[in-house]
Structure 1
Amino acid sequence: MPSAPATPKTATAAPGRKKAPAKAAIKAGTKGLASPEPAAPAPEAVLTLSSKNYSSWSLRGYLLCRLAGLAFTEARVSADDPAIRAELLLQSSSFLVPRLDHEGLRIWDTLAIAEYLHEWKPEAGLLPRDRAARAHCRSISGEMHSGFANLRSALPMNIKAHHPGFKVWAGAQGDILRIVAIWTECLSTYGGPYLFGSAPTMADAMYAPVCLRFTTYDVPLDPQSRAYCATMLALPAMQDWMAAAREEPEEMEELDVEF
């Protein structure tokens, strides 16, 4: 005899347990529920700069930040204002500009900023990937940082000026020859158009003001060095800097330090 079909059983809650209510969609902002807090703003970087027409070190720091892809605001200081000079001396004990404030850290000295940005974003390529090329890049960057005093004093940076046929004295000429030798070695070794290949690095930022000096004082260069200067001056960051420099006041009292 066939068995009767089983009657479906109705589920019952276990003793002492309440049946869970059906899930319902909960809209954000419903009364009784706290609205989600807005996301905290990204840490803001501030780059303290001096004159864009005269300050080669400010340009180097600016280029390093742009090449690293760091979003930053500028804090401009006028180096010929005694009150601002005093304030800047308090901010940086040896009157070093640029200065980078980022994520609660304060970094001054251009090479320190370069190394910090490389650690912050190594994929930006401020230093080459190859170990030997990195050592070379650091070496020529350090040479620019600590050397070429004759060039600095004889050919001060002045983007708005142009001196065709400028007479370069012997001491500065020695610095020019050394810089051209550095460029020639790098461009020949790494293939250009930048000093370490297809993209600009820390070294290009360090030597960028030299390209401007060579242009201002009409320094004769070989074709390879002229092409390198043209490549550097065409960088969007350089174009932005030069445009801002041309908008600065015509005169600024010179400081007794090279900046």
Structure 2
Amino acid sequence: MTYTLITANRNYSSWSLRPWVLMTALDTPFKDVIIYFEEDNYERFREFTPNGQVPCLKDNDLTIWDSLAIMEYLAERHEGCWPEEAKARMWARCAAAEMHGGFAPLRNICPMNIGVRARLHKIEKPLQRNLDRISELFAQGLESFGGPWLAGDTFTIVDAFYAPVAFRVRSFDLGIGPIGREWVDQIIAHPAMQHWEAQALAETEREIHHEEEIAAVATVIEDFRV
């Protein structure tokens, strides 16, 4: 079994982070390929994936696209991707699917930019609703299944799905309650996340659209990138 995972910039690509951090945390071997964002990557990405987006997983002659599909594909082949206990697994699937299909205000207003710390100009109701829901989800998972991870005592797909949220919370100092912040601190300290962050900070590539997104909604206080 030979996996190749194709991703984009460590600093910006939240969708790329999800399967990468899962596979790294679970010690699933793969070839790591990075294709950096440019002004228009669609046709370039279409050379290896039908939707023209990252991430994309190659398993020999098979192509698996979309982060959730990649996670499910891996879960069919490797133990530990989802929680073993049925109730925790059900909750984890629901929470991961909610992240995959929702939280548009958080995604749009607080883009992932690992290297910066920024102060939002304002927090409007749609974003606050997202933050309240994430706080509720994190507390529910951690209290229901005993922690220290969202669905129990092991790192699983649901933690990987919310990994970009952890970087967003830190970058914009978002309020998600003490229980949620404890999980944020824990996942950022995970060796896989530390490895990803180190690569993000070392990148010299800048994608102007992502930089403009932050400038439009926040004041950058610190920038830790090279």
2:18 maps to amino acid: R
Q: Which has the higher strand share?
A: 2
8 A Cα contact 1:49 1:58, kept in partner: yes
CA distance in 2, matches of 1:211, 1:106: 29
- Describe the SS at the equivalent of 1:156: coil
Equivalent residue, structure 1, for 2:204? 249
State the 1:253 CA deviation: 2.8
Q: Does 1:74 align with 2:29?
A: no
CA RMSD of aligned residues (A): 1.8
In the TM superposition, what are the counterparts of 1:133-172 in structure 2 within 5 Å?
Answer: 133-164=88-119, 167-172=122-127
CA distance in 2, matches of 1:101, 1:238: 22
CA distance in 2, matches of 1:165, 1:58: 25
CA distance in 1, matches of 2:2, 2:50: 23
Equivalent residue, structure 1, for 2:137? 182
State the 1:251 CA deviation: 2.3
8 A Cα contact 2:148 2:183, kept in partner: yes
Of structures 1 and 2, the one scoring higher in RCO (CA 8 A, sep 6+) is 2
1:53 maps to amino acid: N
8 A Cα contact 1:68 1:118, kept in partner: no
1:144 maps to amino acid: M
In the TM superposition, what are the counterparts of 1:1-259 in structure 2 within 5 Å?
Answer: 43-80=1-38, 82=40, 85-122=42-79, 125-164=80-119, 167-249=122-204, 251-254=206-209
Note the alpha carbon deviations across 1:17-39, whole angstroms, 9 max, x for none: xxxxxxxxxxxxxxxxxxxxxxx
Q: Which has the higher helix share?
A: 2
Structure 2 unaligned spans of 5+ = 214-226
8 A Cα contact 1:166 1:218, kept in partner: no
State the 1:81 CA deviation: 5.2
8 A Cα contact 1:57 1:110, kept in partner: yes
The structure having more radius of gyration, on CA atoms, is 1
* Structure 1 segments (4+ residues) deviating >4 Å: none
2:151 maps to amino acid: F
Structure 1 unaligned spans of 5+ = 1-42
Change (3 A) 1:242 1:106: same
CA distance in 2, matches of 1:219, 1:45: 36
- Describe the SS at the equivalent of 2:46: helix
Note the alpha carbon deviations across 1:117-136, whole angstroms, 9 max, x for none: 111112xx111112222111
CA distance in 2, matches of 1:179, 1:129: 23
State the 1:250 CA deviation: 5.6
TM-score (norm: length of structure 2): 0.87
Note the alpha carbon deviations across 1:142-172, whole angstroms, 9 max, x for none: 0000000011000000001101465322211
CA distance in 2, matches of 1:53, 1:149: 19
